Amino acid sequence: MNNDFPRILTLLRKERGLSQKKAAEDLGVSQALLSHYEKGIRECGLEFVVRAADYYQVSCDYLLGRSPDRTGATISVEDIPEPDAAGKENRLRGSLLPTLNKKLLANSLNVIFGELQKCNHKNLTAEISAYLGVSVYKAFRLLYSANAKNPQGMFAAPENLYNGLADAVQSIAQANAACLAGGEKAGDMEGLEKGTAPVMTPDTIAKDYPLFAASLMNLIQNTENRMGMKKKD
């Protein structure tokens, strides 16, 4: 049994607000045995995995940490909704600032991934995606952890370690991406071939991305303002 099983088993019980005693009764085991399963002290058999998956209405693959989807489904490109596909459910209430910043970020990412498509370099895309993904992970976890009642069992990385580990992973992804974009090898990954990097100027960006260019330029300006930097005329 892997390390994910005890964490996910505990998380599912706490999500339902069940005591360990009640869950043990429903699952047909002693509270002591369930406690051992949740702490990873003892390994359970396949029969218990199936019973627990049915009880919590998740797939065995999810319970074992083999799938991030509770149904065990493997996500494909076609399964991922567009950012604004949720319609009314996706509208942010309250302050307009989150909506504005969301649009600036989403539009800027359209430019980044558009340029990555031009590069047609799988590893460069993977490293830049990893770098950006860690930023989203850190932002979400910061917000999630703001309420101490939110169960940390949702995450494999401990609360006292995740920030440092995420920073390390992000730094590695950034270093790999810089090497690859510069035409150098990063480990076993070959860099961009000479002369294949896309040509970009403010004019070409505005021409290629008429809907998104202004958002990117605004994001650049806002970020450099935070750095205390101002572009010279």
Among residues of the chain, what percentage have pLDDT more than 70?
88
| 7, 41 Cβ separation under 8 angstroms | no
- For 136-180, what is each residue's pLDDT tens digit? 999 999 999 999 989 888 898 999 999 999 999 999 999 999 999
What is the C-alpha R_g of the chain?
A: 23
User: Domains in the chain and their CATH numbers?
Assistant: 4-63 (1.10.260.40), 78-226 (no CATH)
Distances, alpha carbon 213 to alpha carbons 5, 30, 100, 225, in Å: 45, 61, 15, 18
- For 10-47, what is each residue's pLDDT tens digit? 989 988 889 999 999 999 999 999 999 999 999 999 99
| 34, 23 Cβ separation under 8 angstroms | yes
The tokens describing 134, both together, are 């860690």
The answer, as to whether pTM is greater than 0.85, is: no
Determine whether 51 is exposed, middle or buried from the number of CB atoms within 10 Å of its CB (0-12, 13-18, 19+).
middle
| 63, 9 Cβ separation under 8 angstroms | yes
Query: Residue 92: which residues within 8 A CB-CB, separation 6 or more?
Result: 98, 99, 102
